Structure 1
Amino acid sequence: MKPAKGSQKKPGQPGFVRIISGQWRGRRLPVADVTGLRPTTDRVKETLFNWLMHDIAGSSVLDCFSGSGSLAFEALSRYASYACLIEKDLAQSKRLKALLSSLSASQAEVINTDCLRYLAQPAQRQYQIVLVDPPFRQQLAIACCQLLEQHGWLAEDALIYLETEKELSLAGIPANWRLIKESIAGQLAYRLWARQSAAGSSD
């Protein structure tokens, strides 16, 4: 597990992620020591939510590979109207539900399932902000982006955050997504895309 900066995590012991701003500012949320769990660092998370500063309040948020829940909890703290957290690991999904309950966050739900399988079905609702931070080097990121577009999960003007290994090819990103923000931190790349309608993407 790659702990968040400042998490004070010792090997084999739980760490925590910190909510940076909003109604739960300063709260520390425990993170279990689960293989492959890689919470977004505070520095990257702060940059992301600076990018989303004018869009997060009142938005519907889909957290595709929720993991620690760090990004979804930050969005909810900053007054997102609703968040759906998709988490494949059963024990981790139970932890996320318990954390939501401890924060009285009734405007969120956790779905315990495989993310790509879930997104391969017709969309049950459309989201204005989508967070895509999958395990690295498992060919999940681009497949997730394609399913989001193909099955109608995105609002017309959706913003999509993508955090990946920096060497990942972006060749399969949907043609109607426009890259608006991008940065590199060590071995990872993080980007923000703006979706354009099919009519607008031909310009």
Structure 2
Amino acid sequence: MNKPKTLKTEPPKKVRIIGGTWRSRLLTVIDLHGLRPTTDRIRETLFNWLGQDLSGLRCLDLFAGTGALGFEAASRGASLVVLLEKDKKAHANLKANFSLLQSSPVSGSVEILQRDSLEFLRQQADQSSNLIFIDPPFQEAALLDRAVREAGRICDDSGGGGIYVEFPSNRPSEDIESLLPDWHCGKYLEAGQVKACLFRSGRG
């Protein structure tokens, strides 16, 4: 007699918070078109650039996805982290991940908004944030460009921070640099299909 076949369900994918209060805590990654969490390796490099203690920094995590960048910043002491995600399912997953993290509260505030990131940026005052993460779906090149330009107006990195931009490896980094004429790419990496720059201003 044949045994009934059981359907194998893939366990949900996870990413790990690397440092701070929530070190080693896991974030669930949902299966969603265009969702591409920043890898552990890239995040580790980024937060080595930024420093382990982000106390006092006001951060924006645009196109937040899993929230890996924003939650990492909150874990390391940022005073305010706003995570923006307009997709309903991704936003619900952000809230669920944050709810699980709340068993170990962080010192700063965390806000999770179901909002269009560009619309939100246009409403922000000049130099009102210190650290901005920009990592939209790679197929949305125009979205990335508009967000980067707005970030140049909004970001004040005088107390640390900067503008972090992740983009496809087939795009020249000079394209991104041209969007921020008053900033310079102080740190740069390439890993697989990803390029990333951390832009700093003369104030930083």
TM-score normalised according to structure 1 size: 0.83
| Correspondence for 1:170 | 176
The correspondence of residues 59-74 of structure 1 with structure 2, limited to 5 A, is 59-74=57-72
Which residue number in structure 2 is paired with residue 98 of structure 1? Answer: 96
SS of 2:130 mapped into structure 1: strand
Alignment of 1:141-152 (within 5 A): 141-150=144-153
* Mapped partners of 1:93, 1:76: distance in 2: 17
Larger Rg: 2
The aligned residue for residue 113 of structure 2 is 111
Q: Give me the whole-angstrom Cα distance separating, in 2, the residues matched to 1:57 and 1:32.
A: 30
For residue 22 of structure 2, the aligned residue among 21, 24, 36 is 24
Give secondary structure in 1 for the equivalent of 2:195: strand
Please give the alpha-carbon distance, in whole angstroms, between the structure 1 residues aligned to 2:42 and 2:121.
Answer: 26
Q: Deviation per CA, 1:127-160, whole angstroms, max 9, x where unpaired?
A: 111111111031222210112234xx22253501
Distance 1:64 1:138, change over 3 A: same
Gaps of 5+ in 1: 1-9
User: RCO higher in 1 or 2 (8 Å CA, sep ≥ 6)?
Assistant: 2
Contact 2:53 2:76 survives alignment (8 Å): no
**DSSP-derived class of the 1:134 partner:** coil
Pairwise CA RMSD: 2.3
Distance 1:124 1:14 in 2: 40
Conservation of the 8 A alpha-carbon contact between 1:160 and 1:194 = yes
- Equivalent residue of 1:68, what SS? coil
Matched letter for residue 146 of structure 1? R
Letter of the structure 2 residue corresponding to residue 161 of structure 1: Y
2:37 corresponds to: 39
Normalising by structure 2, we get a TM-score of: 0.82
What SS class does the counterpart of residue 113 from structure 1 fall into?
A: coil
Cα drift, residue 54 of structure 1 = 5.6
Q: How many residues align?
A: 187
SS in 2 for 1:25: coil
Cα drift, residue 161 of structure 1: 0.6
> 1:69-114: per-residue Cα shift (whole Å, max 9, x none)?
0011111111111100010101211221232233225711111122
Q: Which amino acid aligns with 2:47?
A: F
Name the structure where helix makes up a greater proportion of residues: 2
Maintained 8 Å contact 1:97/1:109: no
SS of the counterpart of 1:37? Answer: coil
Q: 1:13·1:33 contact (CA, 8 Å) conserved in 2?
A: no
Q: Which residue, out of 161, 166, 177, partners 2:164?
A: 161
- Structure 2 regions of 5+ residues with no counterpart? 1-7
SS in 1 for 2:84: strand
Residue in 2 aligned with 1:194? 200
Deviation at 1:19, TM superposition (A): 0.7
Q: Distance in 2 between matches of 1:66 and 1:134?
A: 8
Name the CA shift for 1:180/1:115 in 2 (closer, same or farther; >3 Å).
same
More deviation in 185-194 or 118-127? 118-127
Identity of aligned residues (%): 39
Alignment-mate amino acid for residue 170 of structure 1: I
